[in-house]
Amino acid sequence: MDVAAAGDSRENSAVRDKRQHLKIADCSTGFKTGPCVTYLSLPAELIMDALDEHLDPPVDLGDESDSSDNSSRKSYKSKLPLARPLCVETKTESGFQKTYRICLELIREAMLHHRWQEAAQYMASFTEILEDRNKVRAQPNKELVWRISIEILHHLSKSTVKDYNTIYERMKHSGVKHYLMICLEHSFHLMLHGQIECAKQQLSIAESWRHGKESVSQLQRIKLIQAYRSLLDYMIWCDKKSMLSQNNSVESDIQGMHTCFRHASVNLQEILKNPGVWDPFILSYVEMLEFYEDYEEALKVLNDYVYDSNFPPNPNANVYMYQFLKRHSAPEKKLMKVLRNLHVLVPSHELMLEYSFLLLQSEKTSDTQKALGVLLEMLDFACWRSNMGVWTCLHTAVHRLLLQEEGEVIVHKQMALRKDWWPALHFTSFHAKKDLEENAKLLEVKASLEKILCPGRPLRYTAERMPT
Amino acid sequence: MDEADTAEYREPCAQCAAVNWGISDEGRFYCRSCHNVIERTREVMDMSFTRDSNRISWISSKSRTRKTDRGNVWMLCEVFQFILKNQADALLRLGVSPGFKDDVLSQLWRLYLQKSQQAYTRNPINSFKFKQKGLDSDSGSAADSVLSGSFTDTGSNLHSSADCNAESGSDRGRSGQSGTCSTASWKRSRSLMTMEKTLALIHLALVWSREALTLSDLLRLVKDDHVPYVTAYEQLPEEMKLCGRVALLFHIKNIPSHRSIHKMAQGLVMFLQLPAFPPINPQTLLHPTLLSLRYLTDANLPDELHRWVCILMDRADMANQKRHTLDLASHPALPLYDLQAAALIIVTMKVLFGLDDHTEWNLSNEAGSHDDLGDLFSFRRWYRLVQAALIQAQQRRNQDIARKQWKGKKPFFTDKRDKYFVMKRRRISDNVQMSLKKLTSRPAPVQDVAPSSFQFCWGSEDGSDGPSLQHMKLGKVVSLNHDVSTPSNFKYWHPPLRTCKPRSCTSHYSIMEPTLPRSFVWMLQLFSFMLDVEPWYLFEEVLEVERRVFGIKTPQSGQQIPIGGQNETGSNTKKWNRNCETKQDSKSGDPVRKPKS
């Protein structure tokens, strides 16, 4: 909804477009498991919100006394950046407008109460609004009809793909403004139903669509469409690859694969240069490049993605980089550089454990010190509280430091800020009991560290063995 | 079914030269008289068949039917004449007396045409014209017949414009003499006929023929499509083709309000300089005596109240038939029959029950405790019953509004380019509608219910809104005082009087509404729902009736009566009661006197 709302306003500010960009790409992370599920099946509440915006302020029929209420409501509303309300009762409301205002209210009511049959009935009479001669209202009305009827179809058990197609196609061709948006959503819908080829066809049609100024102003949307088309190319490529691994005799498949790769790479190369979060697209591109053993290009793409300052900081980018380097057994120094970056972004990331391993391996005091810092920061997060690996690493690091001079000072320095709240986080009798139940060894490790980390504090982390 | 499809095909059969086509099961045309099957097939427009991914494109069939001849030009007023005729026919079908169309409406229409100098004059003003669709045959005769014959089916044709002048002059007495001066002042823009004006004309004609249809009834019929209005353009004859900007006059997006039509009718009365209307005596259904009885029944109030409404009417001097008969000489204002009757009932309720949020409930408490017979009218019981029905009816009306279709079966367009867009929009909306309709199990409820003059249905039969309270007795609400029944409630309130500029102020209802007693506001809502008017409009009428009853002059600026807040003019009411009694004494056969039985 957000995307559409952003796209509708005439002034396409760059900032907003960027945000819009991010959002769509964001939603499609985890593409392989369920492509765009998050995006497509917009929860009904979201649509309701949009509807609310159209309907506000709610008109209380038959009660004229709330003029003061209305004004107070208005003044309250004005603080929020809401979309312009479309269907408000005006003084000079014609019967035609009144019909549609009330119809829209009834549709909303029915949708909120999940009476989808009723909503569909009202929707059927609401479609007449498409014949309104008023050109100003036509565009928002089309969007209303498109979105609400699709939402209703989602909830009607009898709806078929054909019904969806009818509505998507009709609304697509009812005007040029929403063409690309509807194409994109249509293809998402087809993807959800496993019709990858159809979805790709839809996107290809949309890609070749040109309509004067409209296609210029919708540049961002065209890029998205290209990106998703390439992603679908990749999926087809994957299918062919798995076929190939099953029976590796068919030669035409290899060629087909290569065609797919070429189609995908042409677009992806261009699109990935635009700042944004392109996680699934990067992954698929890198996978294809690796398959064709074009490691340099893959590394370059990843490098750009990680280190280009135009891109928003993205932990995933570092993760992909790390994984790529590891696959190709890059030197530890490079790995550590990537992990250091990641540490800045996400101190609680699971790769931090590996980072501390690497740091401890180097046996330099400064590195051990760093490892201590990394591990302590990890343990600041409750999710690592009872992780055996982290505590053993910490144990190693602390004991290695204690062997050296000033080791204790270093540890205390690190603990200075934490000593107030760590006892409550890690060292209470409750934790002791829990650790004992779950992992007796953890209890031992933690108990041994207790005195060193938090000296001079009466701790309740007593390892009294409960009679079992 | 066949007739509808073959109606367009008028070619004679090649073998027997008869024009009698039928359609075989395969959809092919055959001659019914010689069974000759021809090439032509029925055009099937199956909306359920929609191609999946093909876009709707407009295939323009290049000038297959375009003919070079320009055809005749229709006048705008001729179009309206057809529409008026259709509307009148629809009213006749609904049971209006046949004289309404031929004797009243057609005369009014002719008078209008003459006064606005559109016809029956030597040099008619140039009104907008429409092109007539080129037809090979009988276009001329159809065009000629419009102004003469087609309107009146019974054959009372107008003879010529000159004759008509004389005729209307003699028929209508005064109308001819003062006509010329007013036409000059009637500006051209105002003289343009509009769709709203058709309703105003019909309303005037209905009042003239003293039909039981009030203006709110007429508007309700229009709203429910029992009288063609929104899609009136569809019923125009085939050869009459609307085109150009002016055609948008017939593209209706709104049903005019009670107030605007009333104003327009009032304006028409002045413009046409109509003579005195036939008297509205208490036996006519438009007179408040009978109209209030109808509204009492509709609101499920006991019949006994009607006596009190009549007393109030006498008191306000509203029973006088002159007050309800429009006559430019003595009483030039067109009365609001429906609002007046409703306002009378509300004021009666106010007199009897107080409607101040206390008295009526106390009275119903008493009625409830006196449970001896069970047929005592209790305001509380009535309120509960009607409130439930009102909420339901409001919901029903809302749903009907939401389902109302404003488009006609025929698409409406003004020119060729417009036609392209209109057709495209129509197909898109039809397709989406079809695919949604296919998925809904229940068909939309059928709207074709016979129109009724009642909004509610009270009684014991199925589908009624609740038990009827018609036979309830007022009981303690009325008490005997020296053999004269008087209301036991002695208090009467009215909203604070204030100065008001009659020109700029329209209504203070919205400001006043929060301070008014709830039960009174609810009464207003109930009756304004029944008449389908705005509550403030009815409120104004209630104030008007109160002024009449209590003899308060219309407040003028500077003449403010210093009463703050809601005042309970109990003493006033008492005085009125006394007055009432003295009046009653002087009269014989007083309706208030307790019946002897």
The residues, ordered by sequence, that sit 6+ positions from B536 with a Cβ below 8 Å of its Cβ are A64, B507, B509, B510
B:400-419 residues touching chain A, CB 8 A cutoff: 401-407
Closest alpha carbon to A61 in B237, B43, B528? B528
How many Å lie between the alpha carbon of A4 and the closest alpha carbon of chain B? 21
- CA distances, A41 to each of A153, A192, A195, A287 (Å): 11, 10, 17, 28
**Nearest residue in B to A163, CA atom:** B435
Indicate which of B412, B433, B436 best probes the interface with A, i.e. most A CBs within 10 Å of its own CB: B436
Partner-chain contact A169 B439, CB within 8 Å = no
- CA distances, B123 to each of A291, B145, B175, B594 (Å): 91, 20, 20, 67
The residues, ordered by sequence, that sit 6+ positions from A252 with a Cβ below 8 Å of its Cβ are none
Please tell me the predicted confidence (pLDDT) of residue A107.
93
How many Å lie between the alpha carbon of A267 and the closest alpha carbon of chain B? 26
- Residue the block writes with tokens 């509004």: B401
Question: Which of the four pLDDT bands, split at 50, 70 and 90, describes residue A455?
Answer: confident
Lowest mean pLDDT among B128-142, B366-380, B557-571: B557-571
Question: Which of the four pLDDT bands, split at 50, 70 and 90, describes residue A3?
Answer: very low
**Nearest residue in A to B53, CA atom:** A169
The answer to whether residue A186 scores a pLDDT higher than 50 is yes
The answer to whether residue B534 scores a pLDDT higher than 70 is yes
Name the pTM for this structure: 0.69
Chain A partners within 8 Å of B525 (Cβ): 62
How open is the CA angle B377-B379-B385, to the nearest 5 degrees?
95
Task: Determine the Cα–Cα distance for residues A386 and A443; give it in Å rounded to an integer.
Answer: 9
Please report which residue ranges of A161-314 form alpha helices under DSSP H: 161-172, 179-192, 196-207, 212-217, 219-246, 251-271, 279-291, 295-307
Radius of gyration for chain B, computed over Cα atoms and rounded to the nearest angstrom: 29
State phi, psi for B38 to the nearest 5 degrees: -115, 180
Question: Which of the four pLDDT bands, split at 50, 70 and 90, describes residue B301?
Answer: very high
pLDDT, tens digit, for every residue of B173-226?
333 333 333 444 444 445 678 889 999 999 999 999 988 899 999 999 999 889
Partner-chain contact A159 B439, CB within 8 Å = yes
The answer to whether residue B262 scores a pLDDT higher than 90 is yes
Q: Please tell me which of the candidates B53, B405, B424 has its beta carbon nearest to residue A128.
A: B405
Contact B424, B58 (CB under 8 A): yes
Q: Say yes or no: B515 contacts chain A, CB-CB below 8 A.
A: no
Share of chain B above pLDDT 90, in %: 21
Closest alpha carbon to A315 in A350, A289, A267? A350
Contact B283, B319 (CB under 8 A): no
> Which residue did the predictor score with more confidence, B421 or B446?
B421
Task: Determine the Cα–Cα distance for residues B137 and B133; give it in Å rounded to an integer.
Answer: 11
Question: Which of the four pLDDT bands, split at 50, 70 and 90, describes residue A22?
Answer: very low
Partner-chain contact A130 B442, CB within 8 Å = no
Chain A partners within 8 Å of B442 (Cβ): 117, 121
Please tell me the predicted confidence (pLDDT) of residue A97.
86
Most confident of A103-112, A251-260, B13-22, B472-481: A103-112
Contact B15, B36 (CB under 8 A): yes
* Pair of tokens at residue A91: 């003084």
Q: Please tell me which of the candidates B425, B440, B535 has its beta carbon nearest to residue A131.
A: B425
pLDDT, tens digit, for every residue of B108-134?
999 988 888 777 777 666 554 554 443
Partner-chain contact B403 A65, CB within 8 Å = no
B567 DSSP 8-state letter: E
* Pair of tokens at residue A286: 């890198």
Radius of gyration for chain A, computed over Cα atoms and rounded to the nearest angstrom: 29
pLDDT, tens digit, for every residue of B24-41?
766 677 777 777 777 766
The answer to whether residue B592 scores a pLDDT higher than 60 is no
Mean pLDDT of B383-405: 91
Lowest mean pLDDT among A4-18, A78-92, B580-594: B580-594
Please tell me the predicted confidence (pLDDT) of residue A239.
86
- CA distances, B298 to each of A178, B380, B456, B465, B469 (Å): 51, 18, 6, 11, 11
**Nearest residue in A to B429, CA atom:** A127
Partner-chain contact A103 B405, CB within 8 Å = no
* Pair of tokens at residue A430: 């409750």
Q: Number of CB pairs < 8 Å for A and B?
A: 121
Residue A294, class by beta-carbon neighbours within 10 Å (0-12 exposed, 13-18 middle, 19+ buried)?
middle
Helix (H, G, I), strand (E, B) or coil at B487: strand
Task: Determine the Cα–Cα distance for residues A20 and A6; give it in Å rounded to an integer.
Answer: 7
Task: Determine the Cα–Cα distance for residues B253 and A93; give it in Å rounded to an integer.
Answer: 10
pLDDT, tens digit, for every residue of A156-171?
888 888 888 888 988 8
Please tell me the predicted confidence (pLDDT) of residue B296.
93
Length of chain B: 597
Please tell me the predicted confidence (pLDDT) of residue A245.
77
Chain A partners within 8 Å of B438 (Cβ): 163
Q: Please tell me which of the candidates B402, B435, B514 has its beta carbon nearest to residue A166.
A: B435
Question: Which of the four pLDDT bands, split at 50, 70 and 90, describes residue B524?
Answer: very high
Q: Say yes or no: B48 contacts chain A, CB-CB below 8 A.
A: no
Mean pLDDT of B309-318: 87
- Residue the block writes with tokens 């003469």: B148
Burial code of B278-306, b = ≥16 C-beta within 10 A, e = fewer?
eebbeebbbbbbebbbbbbbbbbbbebbb
Q: Please tell me which of the candidates A106, A163, A172 has its beta carbon nearest to residue B439.
A: A163
Chain A partners within 8 Å of B56 (Cβ): 170, 173
Contact A138, B429 (CB under 8 A): no
Lowest mean pLDDT among A6-20, A346-360, B225-239: A6-20
Partner-chain contact A128 B406, CB within 8 Å = yes
Task: Determine the Cα–Cα distance for residues B472 and B303; give it in Å rounded to an integer.
Answer: 8
Partner-chain contact A153 B439, CB within 8 Å = yes
Dihedral, CA atoms, B195, B198, B199, B203, nearest 10 degrees? 170
Task: Determine the Cα–Cα distance for residues A367 and A360; give it in Å rounded to an integer.
Answer: 7
Partner-chain contact A64 B251, CB within 8 Å = no
pLDDT, tens digit, for every residue of A380-411?
898 888 888 898 998 888 888 888 878 888 88
The answer to whether residue B150 scores a pLDDT higher than 60 is no
Q: How many CA atoms lie within 13 A of B521 on its CB side?
A: 15
Contact B56, B424 (CB under 8 A): yes
- Residue the block writes with tokens 């009102």: B390
The answer to whether residue B383 scores a pLDDT higher than 90 is yes
- CA distances, A369 to each of A402, A409, A419 (Å): 11, 11, 18
Mean pLDDT of chain B: 73
Helix (H, G, I), strand (E, B) or coil at B288: helix
Q: What is the CA A395 to chain-centroid distance, rounded?
A: 37
How many Å lie between the alpha carbon of B255 and the closest alpha carbon of chain A? 6
The answer to whether residue B545 scores a pLDDT higher than 60 is yes
Closest alpha carbon to A62 in B323, B394, B368? B394
> Which residue did the predictor score with more confidence, A294 or B140?
A294
pLDDT, tens digit, for every residue of A262-280?
888 888 888 888 888 888 8
Chain B partners within 8 Å of A171 (Cβ): 428, 432
How many Å lie between the alpha carbon of B360 and the closest alpha carbon of chain A? 22
A103 DSSP 8-state letter: H
Number of H helices, E strands in chain A: 25, 0
State phi, psi for A363 to the nearest 5 degrees: 65, 10
Mean pLDDT of A435-462: 79
Partner-chain contact B429 A127, CB within 8 Å = yes
Lowest mean pLDDT among A97-111, B189-203, B293-307: B189-203
Lowest mean pLDDT among B164-178, B362-376, B458-472: B164-178
